[in-house]
Chain A
Amino acid sequence: MTPLPELRMTGARPFPPRVSAFTRPFWDALEAGTMRSTRCEDCALIGFPPRNLCRGCWSRRLAWTDLARGGVLYSFTRVHVAPAAFRADAPYAIGLVDLDDGVRLMCRMMGAVEPADIGSRVAMLVLRYDDGALFGARMTHSSPTS
């Protein structure tokens, strides 16, 4: 599959995630340009973040699956008063994205995003920092630069 579009970010991730033996496939795949999560082989629920237990049916039979590359914006906010770790980024936007495969997630919104964009299409992105990747999204009608 074509890798997700990538945006080059400045510096290191402000609040880097921990990587466990279980979540490593997610972060490794993201490095390679793909968003993945766990899908329950018993009830077919795709959860996000990836989980080592299906929260729908408590099955342990979970398999990695690629997530949809886009969806719609459910809501967003722009944070003006930021934690010290994120001071250099403020103001920055975060949003709730409903992916086409039925997953809702929170992520950084890059590029222009306005209240009128709620309900409109977004495309997922890989945000490339000096120390690793995070995921983000942008409105498909906006420029991907922040």
Chain B
Amino acid sequence: MNRRAAILGWGAVPVGTWQKSVTGDAVLEHELAVEVVLDAMTMAGLGRASIDGVAVAHPGDHTKQGYFHTFLTAHLGIRANATVVQVLGNGMTGGHAFDTAVHQVASGQADCMLAVGVHFETAVPTARHLDYSIRLTGDVDFQSVFGAVPIAWYAMDAQRYLHEHRVPRAVLASVAVKNREHARLNPLAQYRTPITLDEVLAARPIVEPLGLLEVPGRADGAVALVVVSEDVARASGRPYVLVRGRGFEHEGLHQLSDRAGTDALDYGTLRLASRRALESAGLALADMSAFQLYAPCTIVEVLATEALGLFPRGEGAAAAADGRTRADGTYPVNTCGGCLSRGHPPEVAPLYDVVEAVLQASGRAGPRQAARGPFTMTVCELGKYNAALVHVLEAVS
């Protein structure tokens, strides 16, 4: 029990439009999964027989194939002796797939796990997609009845933040410019054309005060990770990244506290989960060289940096505007471009975040490489940070 797990290989397609076919022929989830699984296994230098189990991110409502995990495992011709499982947890879904793979290895059930996810949604029109997604982030009988789309909850955080801390909208919007600057240097990113602050502010409103460039676009994606025991990783002779720490917290709420006066801008689950992750790693916040934060909107990244303790309450937006979360800043955040520009295929976004955390930890992030050391943190959430799942990684070469 409690062995250490390591990431030995990964594969990912660029985030973007895969499901909405340009040729007229359908693109199928399991066919795309083959590409990323083989890339990940090749990087790990392992063959199919090494795989003990498969943890699959639930592909969401717009994937036709049901029981995708067993279907995919069969398509790959994998015999598994540890587990084959499909996991679901809102925006945390991909994080759960990774976490499940880590636990299978750490508990000794598996020496080698595949964590894999494919998210498709671009062939489904936005308005129809929203008919589905209003059922996810509210009480369907008492909240969804008002048309509260998922990002509406974050928008209300944004409106409150601007009011409470007297922050100009342009300061908050600067997060989008920073993330695009990072994405420009990331070949896996969906949106790579630089944008200006004026363009962000002039974009059409989506959920006030947030405009088109402050909320995530529609996106497909596919990622596979190979998670192995430390022994297997060491024996491979290849560079690997250890999972050093892990923390989780759920506050027992679904989107909204029903107590008047509750501070909705305090993402307290992240504060607790990140502390637990650092404690279990025996490390401090200052040891982290980069932070991958699940942040579908500008405001979410700001509130997450404040919850982590990178900046005092109410100062996260100004810190971002000052460049302190850039790849060359004090605390590099979302060096891949984040959900806004790397892209946001919801169920697999946390798997992309692990990929970036691996690249940053191991010094392989190219021109967007943050300066310092082998430790990185990756964070995903569910609801409106009603829960946070945090992993601390360490590169070993």
CB contacts (< 8 Å) of A134 on chain B: these are 145-146
Contact indicator B259/A104 (Cβ below 8 Å) = yes
Contact indicator A108/B146 (Cβ below 8 Å) = yes
CB contacts (< 8 Å) of A85 on chain B: these are 131, 134, 147
User: Would you list which residues of chain A between 64 and 120 have a CB under 8 Å from chain B?
Assistant: 71, 74-87, 89, 91-92, 94-96, 98-99, 102-108, 115, 118-119
CB contacts (< 8 Å) of A81 on chain B: these are 126-127, 130, 149, 206-207
Contact indicator A13/B142 (Cβ below 8 Å) = no
Q: A15-B134, A74-B160, A75-B264 are in contact. Are A84 and B127 (CB under 8 A)?
A: yes
Contact indicator B152/A77 (Cβ below 8 Å) = yes
Contact indicator A75/B139 (Cβ below 8 Å) = no
Q: B234-267 interface mask toward A, CB cutoff 8 Å, 1 = contact, 0 = none?
A: 0000000000000000001000111111101000
Q: Name which residue of chain A comes closest to B130, CB basis.
A: A83
CB contacts (< 8 Å) of B252 on chain A: these are 55
Contact indicator A14/B147 (Cβ below 8 Å) = yes
Q: B190-206 interface mask toward A, CB cutoff 8 Å, 1 = contact, 0 = none?
A: 00000000000000111
Contact indicator B147/A82 (Cβ below 8 Å) = yes
Q: B112-156 interface mask toward A, CB cutoff 8 Å, 1 = contact, 0 = none?
A: 000000000000011110110110001111111111110010011
Contact indicator B258/A48 (Cβ below 8 Å) = yes
Q: Is B159 interfacial (CB-CB < 8 Å)?
A: yes
Q: Is A140 interfacial (CB-CB < 8 Å)?
A: no
Interface centre among A17, A75, A76 (most CB of B within 10 A): A75
Contact indicator A77/B262 (Cβ below 8 Å) = no
Please give the distance in Å from B139's CB to the nearest CB on chain A. Answer: 6
The residue from B141, B149, B158 contacting A23, defined by CB atoms under 8 A apart: B141
Contact indicator B145/A76 (Cβ below 8 Å) = no
Q: A49-B141, A75-B159, A106-B143 are in contact. Are A82 and B130 (CB under 8 A)?
A: yes
CB contacts (< 8 Å) of B126 on chain A: these are 81
Q: Is A47 interfacial (CB-CB < 8 Å)?
A: yes
Q: Is A16 interfacial (CB-CB < 8 Å)?
A: yes
The residue from B133, B138, B146, B205 contacting A80, defined by CB atoms under 8 A apart: B205
Please give the distance in Å from B127's CB to the nearest CB on chain A. Answer: 4
Q: How far is the CA of A47 from the CA of B139 in the complex (A)?
A: 14
Considering only CB atoms and an 8 Å cut-off, how many residues of chain A contact the other chain?
A: 45
Q: Is B322 interfacial (CB-CB < 8 Å)?
A: no
Q: A83-B130, A94-B146, A104-B256 are in contact. Are A77 and B140 (CB under 8 A)?
A: no
CB contacts (< 8 Å) of A107 on chain B: these are 146
Q: How far is the CA of A130 from the CA of B148 in the complex (A)?
A: 21
Contact indicator B207/A80 (Cβ below 8 Å) = yes
Q: Is B48 interfacial (CB-CB < 8 Å)?
A: no
CB contacts (< 8 Å) of A49 on chain B: these are 139, 141-142, 258
CB contacts (< 8 Å) of B206 on chain A: these are 80-81
Contact indicator B258/A76 (Cβ below 8 Å) = no
Q: Name which residue of chain A comes closest to B158, CB basis.
A: A77
Q: A47-B258, A49-B142, A84-B130 are in contact. Are A75 and B157 (CB under 8 A)?
A: yes
CB contacts (< 8 Å) of B205 on chain A: these are 78, 80, 91
Q: Name which residue of chain A comes closest to B157, CB basis.
A: A75
Q: Name which residue of chain A comes closest to B258, CB basis.
A: A48
Contact indicator A119/B163 (Cβ below 8 Å) = yes
User: Would you list which residues of chain A between 2 and 37 have a CB under 8 Å from chain B?
Assistant: 13-18, 23
Q: Name which residue of chain B comes closest to A48, CB basis.
A: B258
Contact indicator B207/A79 (Cβ below 8 Å) = yes
Q: Name which residue of chain A comes closest to B259, CB basis.
A: A104
Please give the distance in Å from A136's CB to the nearest CB on chain B. Answer: 8
Contact indicator B264/A74 (Cβ below 8 Å) = yes
CB contacts (< 8 Å) of A87 on chain B: these are 127
CB contacts (< 8 Å) of A91 on chain B: these are 205
CB contacts (< 8 Å) of B125 on chain A: these are 84
Q: How far is the CA of A18 from the CA of B44 in the complex (A)?
A: 51
Please give the distance in Å from A7's CB to the nearest CB on chain B. Answer: 14
Q: A96-B156, A115-B163 are in contact. Are A84 and B147 (CB under 8 A)?
A: no
| Shortest beta-carbon contacts, A-B, top 10 | A98-B260, A83-B130, A77-B155, A17-B141, A86-B147, A75-B160, A49-B142, A84-B127, A75-B156, A78-B208
20 A-B residue pairs with CB within 8 Å: A16-B145, A23-B141, A71-B260, A74-B260, A75-B157, A76-B159, A77-B152, A77-B155, A79-B207, A81-B207, A84-B128, A86-B147, A92-B147, A96-B256, A102-B261, A104-B260, A104-B261, A115-B162, A115-B163, A119-B163
Other CB < 8 Å A-B pairs besides A23-B141, A102-B261, A115-B163, 11 of them? A14-B147, A75-B156, A77-B156, A80-B204, A81-B130, A82-B130, A94-B147, A98-B260, A104-B262, A107-B146, A115-B159
